[in-house]
Structure 1
Amino acid sequence: MATTLTAGRKSVLITGCTPGGIGHAIAEAFHAKGVFVIASARRIEVLEDLAAKGIATVQLDVTSKESIAKCKEEVTTLTSGKLDFLVNNAGRTHTVPATDLDMDDVRATYETNVFGLMAMCQAFVPLLIEAQGLIINVASLSAVVPYIFGASYCSSKGAVVSYSRCLRQELRPFGVRVTVVMAGTVRSNIANKVLPLVEGSLYEPVADLYEKRQRYSQTNNTMDTAVFANRVVNNALRPEVPLLLRAWMGRRDWFWCGGMSWVVWLGTILGEWISDMGAWRTFGLQKLKDYLVKKRIEREQLAKTAKQE
């Protein structure tokens, strides 16, 4: 672990800093800007490369109340009770058709993506108030588009968006800001593990589309992780400006970044039908519809033939 924070230097705590992911890259980007970085992960040994660069590292499981409390104690000591930035990046991917979901698996997704994030904000608000700091909640474009086969993940990120909007208003009197990162496709380890469809799934006829969907974020306009991280950090370090000007200058409340981000943003302006049509075409569900129509016609023809006989 690194030494305590020196006077006049800003500090940041980042969750989910496993190598190869967004959090790891954000830690390096903040460090390069001279910010005192505290990187965290469930297994602290995976952070050895960051520690070698002079970055403080702590063990943290955002789904554990005890782990969060211990992390808060360590961070309080390191920063003398003030935290300028909290980056809630830790997340869990979940690509399964809505009709195939295992509810225990859904709960695990929400424990990390939603409840863990809420618990982190609640625990570290006192330190953020002392610094009049910034909370950065990493959401996703999937919060506002029908990302096929991602109902659990999409809804968890939608919850992050709604929670962040309320949190922003509640913390405004205390001088604490909340930025939501609407992350697009970014290079990461998210697609390293491709899961097969459950046996008997309604989507077995288009299993190839399901497999392709699981790799979508890594094969479509995917932004380099370091580029994404630098843009997020640069936004965080921008100066404060009046509310009406934040969409054009200064630190933004909503930061759209990553592959496809501006396309999806435009879709939210033009209307929901754009997102629906885009998702339908992008993920090829017409193939399944055509298959089902063909099967229905075949059944009707067989029934008609049997009746004539």
Structure 2
Amino acid sequence: MTSRETVLITGCSNDGIGSALALVFQQRGFHVFATARDPSKMSKLNGLPNVTLLTLDVVKSTDIKAAVSAVSKETGGTLNYFISNAGHNHFMPILDENLDTVRDLFEINFLAPIALTQAFAPLLIKAKGMAVYVTSISGYLNIPYMGTYGASKKSLEIAADTMRLELAPFGVDVLEVVTGAVKTLGQTYFEDFALPPQSLYKSIEDIIAARAQGKDGMPRMESMEYASKVVDEVVKRTTGRFWCGNNADSVKMSTTATAVPQSAMDAGAVIGTGLEKLGK
């Protein structure tokens, strides 16, 4: 049974944000449970000391149950940090969206993190741990062709903001990492991007495809630099939002200017809800 602090991270395939986070946590002495749908895609983590690879398709309840069981067996039923990173990127004009595709997008980006939080909550509560959700600056900007993706990430952020209040009485902290541009393999999903034949945007398909493929001229933060900054905040038990990645700070300044601190907003939000009576 591990005596180290533990962290479970979803979406740890090679050269992505999850993999970088796993490497930084491992280097800092944590026992890392790194997960992905296909463990063979976590080869850069395979064999590292204090790293346990688990198969976890975040939309499969059987995988979630198996992951909870594996972590519980290793730790005696506790988990210090849960990091919901797995997600799916998506580009499409809203008029051209296949609604089944959008449903799948919300299943992965919004419902799966909630299901995982419910499943790991007993372990986090026992450890008085922390849940961390990787969200996106696209939830704050009306970026053309990313409307449904941005909506899925903003939805997760709203749920995480609420969970911050609902989990506080049980000693569990919640952090959202509002993520800007980071250099990963995410853009490789779109090598065969195509609009439907009837699309009103067909004449600019090449421009949309180039943006989907990351050919937008936007500088991107190295994934290890991003991961190091994020882990710094996690181990400090920062709550609320941490903005990280290229352009994150400028988006924060332009979209969230307010004189009211989050702590005051939180205090006002829980008045009369009964939450203030829990955990006493």
Q: Does residue 193 of structure 1 match 2:189?
A: yes
Identity of aligned residues (%): 32
Structure 1: gaps spanning 5 or more residues:
241-250, 272-309
- Quick check: 2:35–2:56 contact (8 Å CA) kept in 1? yes
Of 30, 41, 46, which aligns to 2:36? 41
Note the C-alpha offset of 1:107.
Answer: 1.1
Q: Does residue 17 of structure 1 match 2:12?
A: yes
Q: Does residue 169 of structure 1 match 2:165?
A: yes
Note the C-alpha offset of 1:49.
Answer: 3.0
| Aligned residue in 1 for 2:227 | 229
Q: 1:217 to 1:206 in 2, by over 3 A?
A: closer
CA distance in structure 2 between the aligned counterparts of 1:17 and 1:218, rounded to whole angstroms: 25
- Quick check: 2:210–2:216 contact (8 Å CA) kept in 1? no
Q: Deviation string for 1:216-262 (max 9, x for gaps)?
A: 48741200000001111111011x5xxxxxxxxxx242110001001
- Quick check: 2:14–2:41 contact (8 Å CA) kept in 1? yes
Q: Does residue 64 of structure 1 match 2:51?
A: no
Of 235, 245, 258, which aligns to 1:258? 245
- Quick check: 2:174–2:239 contact (8 Å CA) kept in 1? no
Structure 1 counterpart SS, 2:12: coil
- Quick check: 1:14–1:86 contact (8 Å CA) kept in 2? yes
Matches within 5 A, 1:62-211: 62-194=58-190, 195-211=193-209
Q: Deviation string for 1:3-40 (max 9, x for gaps)?
A: x312xx21000000000110000000100111110100
- Quick check: 1:12–1:36 contact (8 Å CA) kept in 2? yes
Q: Give the aligned residue type for 1:235.
A: E
Q: Deviation string for 1:97-132 (max 9, x for gaps)?
A: 100001111111111111110000000000000111
CA distance in structure 1 between the aligned counterparts of 2:15 and 2:187, rounded to whole angstroms: 12
CA distance in structure 2 between the aligned counterparts of 1:78 and 1:95, rounded to whole angstroms: 39
Q: Give the aligned residue type for 1:254.
A: R
Q: 1:228 to 1:210 in 2, by over 3 A?
A: same
Give the number of equivalent residue pairs: 255
- Quick check: 1:72–1:124 contact (8 Å CA) kept in 2? yes
Note the C-alpha offset of 1:196.
Answer: 1.5
Q: Give the aligned residue type for 2:16.
A: G
CA distance in structure 2 between the aligned counterparts of 1:175 and 1:219, rounded to whole angstroms: 43
- Quick check: 2:94–2:145 contact (8 Å CA) kept in 1? yes
Q: Give the aligned residue type for 1:5.
A: T
Structure 1 counterpart SS, 2:164: helix
Structure 2: gaps spanning 5 or more residues:
259-280
Q: Deviation string for 1:134-180 (max 9, x for gaps)?
A: 10000000111112101111110011011001111000100100000
Structure 2 counterpart SS, 1:51: coil
Query: Higher helix share goes to which structure?
Result: 1
CA distance in structure 2 between the aligned counterparts of 1:191 and 1:81, rounded to whole angstroms: 37
| Aligned residue in 2 for 1:5 | 2
Structure 2 length as normaliser, TM-score? 0.88
